[in-house]
Copies of this chain bind each other. A is one copy, B any other.
């Protein structure tokens, strides 16, 4: 693991790191914020998954998460959204390829060679983080935005005993049903939609996956609300399955970091409460 940069910020250290990923077969960059803490102590970890077109850098620079993370004593890790670099398969469409890994393990060529984001987020990156940072592997939570909100929801639903809490900003709630995301699923996972079901939060819940509860914030002025995000699908699936969902519709807010940063501290406080139980 190589250190790209280190900056002191908000009573902690914001680092950016790079390592050679085995599962993605390329170098991957990620950021870690570690609040000041007693020597030898371990802190809970909150994973933040970013949306389409983002790298680790967008939320690290614009997410306004460090003050609340320091206040609550939580490490925040922000991975990249896909493998990237020369020789990595890509497509001239922001909804698939580089910057759009969809947090799935691709089974179809050429994507399967590198696009193994589920295994990366659930396995390889946590192993690296727990080995190199004062992070408590018994206290994990996960959240994210848009495609990363989708990533957080499915990762929690696939691992209900591992993550203590899960929240999302404007998540893609039912990617199998949205024209917006079906292209990427078909490319990464093939035409048999049975293989898509484990990567779709609303479908996972309909198929019996459980989680303790979800917190979702959604802007009412979000340009992707109806065609891509569909929080009503998640609400309906949670209701049928008896999973508590707090869905806050935020009047006038859009899909940008101006929206995310506004509700960031609320989400971190909500996770902190659950990570400390």
Chain A residues with CB under 8 Å of chain B are 7-11, 14, 61-62, 64, 66-67, 219, 221, 252-254, 256-259, 261-262, 265
Contacts and interface: CB of A to CB of B under 8 A. Distances in A.
A253 B10 CA distance: 10
Nearest to A62: B61
A64 B61 contact: no
A64 B7 CA distance: 16
B8 A254 contact: yes
- The 4 A-B residue pairs whose C-beta atoms are closest, nearest first, are A9-B258, A7-B258, A8-B252, A10-B262
A264 to B, nearest CB: 10
Count of identical protomers in the assembly = 2
A61 B258 CA distance: 8
B253 A8 contact: yes
24 contacts: A7-B254, A7-B256, A7-B258, A8-B219, A8-B221, A8-B252, A8-B253, A8-B259, A9-B253, A9-B259, A9-B261, A10-B258, A10-B261, A10-B262, A14-B258, A61-B61, A61-B62, A64-B64, A64-B67, A64-B261, A66-B261, A66-B262, A67-B262, A67-B265
A130 to B, nearest CB: 25
A221 to B, nearest CB: 7
